[in-house]
Amino acid sequence: MLQIYENEQLALVRQSVKEFAKTYIKPHIMDWDERQHFPVELFKQLGEYGFMGILVPEEFGGSGLGYQEYITVLDEISKVCGSIGLSVAAHNSLCTNHILSFASQEQKQKYLPKLATAEWLGAWGLTETESGSDAGGLSTTGVLEGDYYIVNGSKTFITHAISSDVAVVMVRTGEKGDKKGVTAFIVEKGMPGFSAGQKIDKLGMRASETASLFFDNCKLHKDQVIGNPGEGFVQALKLLDGGRISIAALSLGIARGAYECALSYAHQRKQFNRKIFDFQSIAFTLADMATKIEASELLVRQAGQLKDDGITMTKQSAMAKLFASETAVEVSNESVQIHGGYGFTKDFPAEKYFRDAKLCTIGEGTSAIQRMVISREIGKDVK
């Protein structure tokens, strides 16, 4: 943790999350991972602690905290289990934050109290089979007939698709490729024509549920539109700025967990009658890992501070996401290497960090997309 950002409130939040993770998450992580079990009841407990509505104002039942606290929560949870960190991030920064940022007062009053306490679990749907990085090429369509939109199509790689009670989804209501042709809708579980597919079997993040959503002549009333028709794409892009901070914080926690288990192992494991930490190659590798983790946190917390201050941070959040996610992959890889043969077994935690880390360079914009965003932003600096 960076002392320049730590204060009394953050220290209290950190200690609370750390104790929660140690008590309720750590004993179960490998069982959940092996079975690809999504522990719904755990998220109800997280809701009781205020960790599922971190950014939601108290008037809507949330914790009323900022991005520095949010980063700390994700960091500490992901250090123990990336899967749980991912689900906390998706619920807070995507579904819940979309409603908080763009919904009407009536919609906020209806949905936020249930989401902030995890009485309801949230999902967010943008990605489709043929449109991942090409977010403007949506094929899921909504045709207005009277007071209802008739929605047909599907979404894929959706976190909490099966277990969620409410989802925010982006639907094409205009021409394909038109930035003003996408509308955001709130969809509740059980609405006719709305269903979820089979759970996707994944390499990592296995305890975080991922599946597809399907729309078969699903009738959505105009009251389910968030904001105005045609604003969904712009809303999604603005939301993803904050979402990149989430994945960066998730990456930070995974990297920190992988580093700490490698550091501990390097002080326990002996070869040639010496701790392996005493070998320069191991010590230097750990030094590089520690340095990149601290650099990642600086980038993540800078982006979080700008977000809290209401300052545009598109470049900073993309840089944080890019660097922290690539660091998570590199550090987890080195952690396996330091563990040697044991790193390739499930008896040690290194292999799980290794598997979980890779998603961070893919989800909510690949590393290539982050570089595209950064290059576009730095291009504006040319006079």
Q: Which residues are catalytic?
A: 364
Residue 163: burial class (beta carbons within 10 Å; 0-12, 13-18, 19+): middle
CA angle 101, 106, 109 (to 5 degrees): 75
**Which residues, 6+ apart, have CB-to-CB distance to 358 below 8 Å?**
203, 204, 329
Question: Chain centroid to CA 263: how far?
Answer: 26
